[in-house]
Chains A and B, each alone.
Chain A
Amino acid sequence: MFTAITRLPWFVLLLPLASAVVITLFTRRWKNVSSYISVAAVLGSFFCSCAIFVKADISAPEFNWIYIRGVFNVPIAFVLDDLSRLMLLVVSGVGSLIHIYSLGYMRDDEGKSRYFAALSLFMFAMLGIVLANNFVMMFIFWELVGFTSYVLIGHWFERDSAAEAAKKAFLTTRIGDFGFMIGILMVWMATGSVVFDDIVAHLSRITSNPDYLTIAAVLIFCGAVGKSAQFPLHVWLPDAMEGPTPVSALIHAATMVAAGVYLLVRVAFLIHASQTALLVIAWIGTISALLGALLATQQSDIKKILAYSTISQLGYMIMAVGLASDEAAMFHLFTHAFFKALLFLAAGSIIVSLHHEQNIWKMGGLAGKLKTTFATFAVGGLALIGCPPFSGFFSKDAILALAYGRNLPIFIIGLTTAFLTAFYISRAVIIVFFGKPRSDAARNGRESPLVMIVPLLILAFFALVAGLEPVAKYFLIVPHEGESGVIVSVLALSALALGVGIATWLYRNREHDPFHVDLIRHRFYIDEFYQWLINRTQELLARIADFFDRWIIDAGVVRGASGGTFGIGSLLRLFQVGNLQAYAFLFGLGIVVLIYFTIFR
């Protein structure tokens, strides 16, 4: 049973955990040792993942974790279909590159051991999500990635903004996770199982009640909304950029935020059964895509531009899920993981060489100084805007073609988003890499060390080729575009050309941002609205609680009891007149009354 082959999935999962444990327990002091352990673990995971990917029919031993006969059964078991094998490869592959890159980026960091331990723990949790074959296991790992994301965003916790951002990310995603949990419970109540295969087998039990199914599907989608930073829970992702850049690349661009999409594809059997849920998902994705792209156009922090871009691209994936094409969603997830991680890492390379300067208006003219970084950033940008033959072209085109065929309003918004995407990333490239340097740091920028450049080059290679049909076919099912392919491609390319053109025309040789759209600068006041809403609801709750405490508990129960006793006591005190005869008289009167009542009544 335990052959070398069947052990592989366990190795994939447990190597990063072992690394996290070893670093936390033993090698905290030796920072370099810690970092090498972590990198070795993730590389081990990656090689095992490769082996699993190549071996088609592989199964891992499983065992029961919680087993209540006929009621509740949670096995620790893995699902190893095409979907999870691809995800394993993406997660551990991009993860490996980012681990290596981190060696350079976090070279002199005080908390290097803590950083790498958390990164390893994250890899463990993320691979756990990918491998989980049941809802409960997935939910546990789901929460674990949330926790590691919290730790890593708050890596520089001595900075208040980082601590705040970590808290915000954790709490915001928790809102979604709560919905996810209720969704899981609803599915379990209806089908009596949390294991995906069993749910598929008993799907009719839940599809027989369409409203129930819709609510359950939308609640499960809530989890994805939180983790994938979709509207209305997108507010945490831009703030999460307070974390180190490799973390932004790994967790907040390539893997964890894509976990929401993976979840939806994993439970597609549920979601596809409800048209309403699909529509909700498609529109949430569309709104997020447009919103993210719009907000990205006015940001001046390079990482925040990329963060909003991530929201927007994840919106595309969710849109594809909502349009009932898991292939298109996974295709875009696959290419996005490469080019967005690439963009982040290239941005990180700029940030490092400029001594942690993130404001694009303090950069400029870096194309000549950071040649490799520029080249890789450009590749990432071209892939992002969907310029052929870069990978993003194929995957985005697939989604747009899908929308064209199934829902025209969504297609139009998707196209607008494509235009905006081209606009904002061209804007960033022009401001950062061209024109004159706008600060001393930008004038003295130097190229980053090799350990950071090599991952960039590898990712750039994949961002270039991952979408090409022969390559992509090897990894996953490439969706067919159908007859609409040409029209959509032409429209998408003209949107792209328009976006790039306008951005070039507007931002060439500018010293300052010529536009100030307050509405977009302030993120449509969504954060302010949430602040206001939370303050209000908290105030209201506090007032209700205060009223209850003051008037019901205090005045009613506590003072009521004491006051009642006191009042009755003082009433009875009136009878204590101190005259013996009066007592005797009352006594006699009492007897008379008693006799009256016993005899005459």
Chain B
Amino acid sequence: MVTLGDYLLVSGVLFTIGFAGVMVRRNIIIILMALELMLNAANLSLVAFSRFHVDPTGAPNYNAQVFVFFIITVAAAEVAVGLAIVVALFRLRQTTHVEDISSLKF
């Protein structure tokens, strides 16, 4: 029997992998992908909570699942914008490495 704890464990592992990716990887596209991973970890835990949060009639609470759809939509938009920025950046700098992008530093 798969419990809520198992789902949350997977979700946590996914989130950690994503966070570690954001922290350690230098390629901005990989960082974006890792970000998506973190997002989906959150989605997974939301769906899991929804599935296990049942009312007295046995029906799950669908609110969280609807919320996940929104997150996926927003994530798609975010990726579109993010990749567009990456493309623009690459055109400007001919690089996707974050070490090379440091013009905010004084």
Interface check B102, CB cutoff 8 A: yes
- Interchain CB contact (< 8 A) of A576 among B23, B24, B101, B104: B104
Q: Are A584 and B106 in contact (CB under 8 A)?
A: no
B89 to chain A, nearest CB (A): 11
Contacts of A573 in B (CB 8 A): 106
CA distance A481 to B22 in the complex (A): 115
Residue of A nearest to B97 (CB): A580
Residue of A nearest to B25 (CB): A581
B28 to chain A, nearest CB (A): 8
CA distance A393 to B19 in the complex (A): 115
- Interchain CB contact (< 8 A) of A580 among B19, B31, B106: B31
CA distance A579 to B31 in the complex (A): 13
- Interchain CB contact (< 8 A) of B98 among A581, A585, A588: A581
Contacts of B101 in A (CB 8 A): 580
Contacts of B23 in A (CB 8 A): 581, 584-585
Contacts of A579 in B (CB 8 A): 98-99, 102, 105
Measured as residues with beta carbon below 8 angstroms from the partner, the interface class of chain A is: 10 to 19
Interface check B103, CB cutoff 8 A: yes
Interface check A514, CB cutoff 8 A: no
Contacts of A588 in B (CB 8 A): 19
CA distance A101 to B98 in the complex (A): 104
Q: Are A581 and B104 in contact (CB under 8 A)?
A: no
CA distance A573 to B98 in the complex (A): 20
Contacts of A585 in B (CB 8 A): 23
Interface check A470, CB cutoff 8 A: no
Residue of B nearest to A578 (CB): B105
Residue of A nearest to B23 (CB): A581
A-B contact count (CB 8 A): 25
Residue of A nearest to B99 (CB): A579
CA distance A588 to B28 in the complex (A): 18
Q: Are B105 and A581 in contact (CB under 8 A)?
A: no
Contacts of B104 in A (CB 8 A): 576, 578
Interface check A599, CB cutoff 8 A: no
Q: Please, what's the 1-or-0 string for B79-106, where 1 marks a CB less than 8 Å from any CB in chain A?
A: 0000000000000000000110111111
CA distance A578 to B99 in the complex (A): 8
CA distance A578 to B104 in the complex (A): 5
Q: Are B24 and A581 in contact (CB under 8 A)?
A: yes
Contacts of B19 in A (CB 8 A): 588
Interface check A54, CB cutoff 8 A: no
Q: Are A581 and B106 in contact (CB under 8 A)?
A: no
CA distance A585 to B19 in the complex (A): 9
Contacts of B106 in A (CB 8 A): 573, 576
Q: Please, what's the 1-or-0 string for B38-70, where 1 marks a CB less than 8 Å from any CB in chain A?
A: 000000000000000000000000000000000
B43 to chain A, nearest CB (A): 18
CA distance A581 to B106 in the complex (A): 17
CA distance A578 to B98 in the complex (A): 9
Contacts of B28 in A (CB 8 A): 580
Contacts of A66 in B (CB 8 A): none
A576/B105 contact (C-beta < 8 A), A581-B23, A584-B23, A588-B19 known: yes
Interface check A1, CB cutoff 8 A: no
CA distance A588 to B19 in the complex (A): 9
B12 to chain A, nearest CB (A): 14
Q: Are A580 and B105 in contact (CB under 8 A)?
A: no
Contacts of A577 in B (CB 8 A): 105
A566 to chain B, nearest CB (A): 14
CA distance A577 to B102 in the complex (A): 8
A285 to chain B, nearest CB (A): 79
B96 to chain A, nearest CB (A): 11
Q: Which residues in B have some Cβ–Cβ distance to A below 8 Å?
A: 19, 22-24, 28, 31, 98-99, 101-106
10 nearest A-B residue pairs (beta carbon): A578-B105, A578-B102, A580-B98, A584-B22, A581-B23, A573-B106, A578-B104, A576-B104, A576-B106, A576-B105
13 chain-A/chain-B pairs, Cβ below 8 angstroms: A576-B104, A576-B105, A576-B106, A577-B105, A578-B102, A579-B98, A579-B99, A579-B105, A580-B98, A581-B22, A581-B23, A585-B23, A588-B19
